[in-house]
Chains A and B, each alone.
Chain A
Amino acid sequence: MELRGHRIPMFVSLLVWFALWEVFGRLEVVSLIPPFSEVVAALAVVVPSESFVEATTVTLQAFAIGMTMSLTVGIGLGMLMGRSPAVASVMGMWVNIFESSPLTAVVPALMALLGFGLPTMVVTVFLFSVWVIALDTQVGVERVNPSLVEMGRSFGASNRVLYSTIVIRAALPELLAGIRLGLIRGLKGVVIGQLLIAVVGVGYLFELYSRNFLMPEFWALLIILFAFAFLASEAVAYFERKVSFYASSR
C-alpha cells in the first residue's frame, strides 16, 4: 500500500483496525464487542491458563493426526487420479461430491459413531481437508509436462524414482496450494468438530466463554486461532512462492 509516495507497511493497517475496534468497544454499542485493550489483557490471562493449555494440546493433537492422514491419503489419491484416467473416472466424482458437500452435517453422526473424543476430531479434520488436497494434487500431476516423464523413462528411471524425483516435484506448485487450503480447512474442521461436541478442546472454551459472556476471553481465543491459521497458511505460501517460477515454464 502506498500513500503520497510513501510505502505504508502492512502492520499500519492492523493498527488502524485495532484503534477503530478500541473506539467502538469504548462506545459500548454492542456488549459483545469489548474494547481491544481488554481483549489484549484477556490474552495475557487466557494463554497461561490451564484450561487453555489443555484445550490447545487436544486441538493440536487432533489437527496434527488428521492432517498427517489427509496429506498421505490426499497426495496418494491425487497422484493416482492424475496419472490414471481409470482411477480419475472412478474416484473423481466422489472426491468432487465430498469436496463440495457441507460436511459439518456429518459430524454429529461421527460423534454417535466414534464418541466424544479424539477419533471424532481426527476424522473431522481428515474429512474437511483431504478432498481439496487430492484434487489439487491431481491437477498438478496432470499438468506435469509429458516429456519430463518420457525424459525420466528414457534415462532409465524406475516408476518409484520417476514419481518421487520428477512427478511430485513438477506438481509442487499445485500440490502446495492444495496443502495450504487443506490446512485451513483442517483447522476449521477441528474447531467445528469441537464446537459440536462442546466438551473438548478449543470448541469447549468457545462454548464456555460465550455462554458466560466472557467476551474479552472469547475474542482473545479467536485472535489466537486467526493468528495460527494465518501463520500456518503463510508458511506454506512461502514455499509456494519459491516454486511459483516454474509453474508457468514446465
Chain B
Amino acid sequence: MTDIPRTTSKAGNPVDKTGEPAVRVHNLTKEFPGGVRALDGVSFDVPRGELTSIIGPSGCGKTTTLKIIAGLVEATGGEVEVDGTPVHAPGPERAFVFQDFALMPWATVLRNAAFGLELRGVSRQEREAIARDYIAKVNLAGFEDAYPHQLSGGMRQRVGLARALAVDADILLMDEPFASVDEQIRRKFQEDLLRLLSDEDKTVIFVTHSIEEAVYVSDQVVILTRGPSRVSKVVRPGVDRDADSEHIRRSPTYLDWVERIWDELQDYLEK
C-alpha cells in the first residue's frame, strides 16, 4: 500500500499549514442566465485532512458549490481559496469524482484510470504503473483491460475513484459518487472509501443527499438549505470510526446525528 512510485510531489504544502483550512469558501453567489439564483452567500471552511460533506435538499446548490470549488463553474460573486490562494480554474491539487463516472467508453479501465496522468504528460510506462496500483487498491485488479460498458455501476465508480487518486491531488472533490450505485454496494463502497482514505492524506469534499451517508463518512457536515441557498449549519458528528461499521450504524451517536440533521433539514422543507 505504501510503495507507490510518486512522480508528482504533493502539490501545495511545502510548509506546515496544519492550522489553516485546506479550502475556504467565502460568500459564494451564483446566478444562472435568466436570473435563477443557485447560491446566495455560501461560506464554510474545509479543515485539512478531513472529510467534509455537503448535504441539503435537491436544488440547494450542493453540486454547483462543488463545481465552483473545482473551478469548473465560475461563481457570480464570492471567493474560493485553496491553501490560501483564490482559485478560478481547475488545478493539479484538486481531483474530481463524477456522479455519472465520466469514463471514456472507448478506453480501457487502465487508460481511464491513467487519464489524469496522461493529460499531465506523464510517460506511458510510469502512468500505467501508478494506475495499476490504484486499480488494485479499489479492488479492480484483473479488470485493467476491460471497457467501462462491461462493468457494473459500482465498478465504474471505482475506476473514477482510481483516476482521481492516481493524480495524487491533496483535495478530492466527490459529487454524489455513490448516487448511481445500488444500495447494498453503496454501504460496502462507503466502507472501502473510508479505508482507502485512511491510507491517503487527503482532504475530501463530498456531496451527498443521503443523511446516513453524510454522518457515516464525514468529520464535518455542511448543511445547505434552499430559497435562499445558504449554509444553515456546520456540524461535526464525531462518530467513532475505529469501531466496525455494523457497530457504528447502531451506535447512539450515529443515530442521534442522523436524527438531528434530519430535523434541521425538515425545518426548511416545511417552509
- Is the C-beta of B92 less than 8 angstroms from some C-beta in chain A? yes
Separation in Å of the A29 CB from the closest CB of chain B? 54
Name which residue of chain A comes closest to B167, CB basis: A155
Establish whether residues B98 and A147, one from each chain, have CB atoms under 8 Å apart when the complex forms: yes
Establish whether residues A156 and B119, one from each chain, have CB atoms under 8 Å apart when the complex forms: yes
Q: Which of B92, B98, B105 contacts A151 (CB 8 A)?
A: B98
CA distance A148 to B102 in the complex (A): 5
CA distance A76 to B119 in the complex (A): 23
- Is the C-beta of A166 less than 8 angstroms from some C-beta in chain B? yes
Supposing A147-B98, A246-B149 touch, asked if A155 and B119 sit within 8 A by C-beta, the answer is: yes
How many positions in chain A have a CB within 8 Å of any CB in the partner chain? Answer: 21
- Is the C-beta of A108 less than 8 angstroms from some C-beta in chain B? no
Establish whether residues B72 and A170, one from each chain, have CB atoms under 8 Å apart when the complex forms: no
Establish whether residues A150 and B104, one from each chain, have CB atoms under 8 Å apart when the complex forms: no
- Is the C-beta of A100 less than 8 angstroms from some C-beta in chain B? no
**Could you say which residues of chain A place their CB within 8 Å of the CB of B96?**
150-151, 154-155
Q: Which of A150, A152, A155, A243 contacts B106 (CB 8 A)?
A: A243
Supposing A145-B100, A169-B106, A243-B106 touch, asked if A154 and B72 sit within 8 A by C-beta, the answer is: yes
- Is the C-beta of A250 less than 8 angstroms from some C-beta in chain B? yes
Separation in Å of the A244 CB from the closest CB of chain B? 11
Establish whether residues A155 and B98, one from each chain, have CB atoms under 8 Å apart when the complex forms: no
Q: Which of A152, A155, A243 contacts B95 (CB 8 A)?
A: A155
CA distance A170 to B116 in the complex (A): 17
**Could you say which residues of chain A place their CB within 8 Å of the CB of B104?**
148, 166, 169-170
Name which residue of chain A comes closest to B173, CB basis: A154
Establish whether residues B105 and A154, one from each chain, have CB atoms under 8 Å apart when the complex forms: no
CA distance A152 to B118 in the complex (A): 11
CA distance A224 to B18 in the complex (A): 76
Chain B proximity mask over A160-178: 1 for CB below 8 Å, otherwise 0: 0100001001101000000
Name which residue of chain A comes closest to B89, CB basis: A153
CA distance A155 to B120 in the complex (A): 8
Secondary structure at chain B's binding surface: helix, strand, loop or mixed? loop
**Could you say which residues of chain B place their CB within 8 Å of the CB of A148?**
102, 104
**Could you say which residues of chain B place their CB within 8 Å of the CB of A170?**
104-106
**Could you say which residues of chain B place their CB within 8 Å of the CB of A11?**
none
Q: Which of B115, B120, B149, B167 contacts A249 (CB 8 A)?
A: B149
**Could you say which residues of chain B place their CB within 8 Å of the CB of A169?**
104, 106
- Is the C-beta of A245 less than 8 angstroms from some C-beta in chain B? yes
Name which residue of chain B comes closest to A246, CB basis: B105
Chain A proximity mask over B115-130: 1 for CB below 8 Å, otherwise 0: 1100110000000000
Supposing A145-B100, A150-B98, A166-B104 touch, asked if A156 and B149 sit within 8 A by C-beta, the answer is: no
- Is the C-beta of B158 less than 8 angstroms from some C-beta in chain A? no
**Could you say which residues of chain A place their CB within 8 Å of the CB of B71?**
154
CA distance A250 to B156 in the complex (A): 13
- Is the C-beta of A47 less than 8 angstroms from some C-beta in chain B? no
Establish whether residues B72 and A155, one from each chain, have CB atoms under 8 Å apart when the complex forms: no
**Could you say which residues of chain A place their CB within 8 Å of the CB of B154?**
none
- Is the C-beta of A157 less than 8 angstroms from some C-beta in chain B? yes
Separation in Å of the A173 CB from the closest CB of chain B? 10
Chain B proximity mask over A136-154: 1 for CB below 8 Å, otherwise 0: 0000000001011011111
CA distance A157 to B115 in the complex (A): 10
B67, B91, B99, B100: most-surrounded residue (chain A CB, <10 A): B100
* 27 A-B residue pairs with CB within 8 Å: A145-B100, A145-B102, A147-B98, A147-B99, A148-B102, A150-B67, A150-B98, A150-B102, A151-B98, A151-B102, A153-B90, A154-B70, A154-B71, A154-B94, A154-B95, A155-B90, A155-B95, A155-B119, A155-B167, A156-B91, A156-B92, A166-B104, A170-B105, A170-B106, A243-B106, A245-B105, A249-B105
Chain B residues within CB distance 8 Å of chain A: 67, 70-72, 90-92, 94-96, 98-100, 102, 104-106, 115-116, 119-120, 148-149, 167
